[in-house]
Amino acid sequence: MKVVLVEDSPLVRKHLLAALKEQPFLSVVGIAATEAEALCTVGLTRPHVVVLDLSLASGSGLEVLRKLRIAGFGGTILVLSNRDAEIYGPLCVNNGANAFYDKGREFERFLTDLNMLAEAPRLAASRPMTLNALRG
């Protein structure tokens, strides 16, 4: 499963990449730190999943989310952020995210869900996956 990582912090990005490389069936095909880089990278690599932070070096992760959905990106978008989950979780889902995870508290759940997506036989870049359906 092809994954694009959108994260501006070099330290966080390093740890995320290390964790993602340990996951079976995942391949990180692109990395971006800004809104413009994210949109370009997703367009060029056509990933199944975008892992998206909301705080970027330039631009906004929320705008990346909106623009990807407006452009017709049908893959899965998982928001992984330090922002307040009670406020930003529903906001992200309402704008097209498949799920929102708190970086500090829900990282293991994020990895579990990402692995479930990778193992799902019906995964296709042309349509989003429903994580609740995969959880059973």
Q: State the average pLDDT over residues 112-135.
A: 62
CB 78 within 8 A of CB 114: yes
Q: Which token pair is 91?
A: 């906001």
pTM score, two decimals? Answer: 0.87
Question: Domain extents for the chain?
Answer: 2-123
Q: Is the distance from CB of 32 to CB of 52 less than 8 angstroms? A: no
Q: What architecture does CATH give domain 2-123?
A: 3-Layer(aba) Sandwich (3.40)
Distance CA 39, CA 95 (A): 16
* Beta strand 2-6 pairing with 27-32: parallel
Specify the amino acid at residue 3: V
The stretch 102-130 carries a mean pLDDT of 75
State whether residue 73 is helix, strand or coil.
coil
Three-state DSSP class for residue 100: strand
Contact present, 55 and 61 (Cβ < 8 Å): yes
**What is the reported pLDDT for 134?**
45
Average confidence score pLDDT of the chain = 89
Residue length, the chain? 136
**Averaged pLDDT, 110-115:** 92
pLDDT bucket at 39, cuts 50 / 70 / 90:
very high
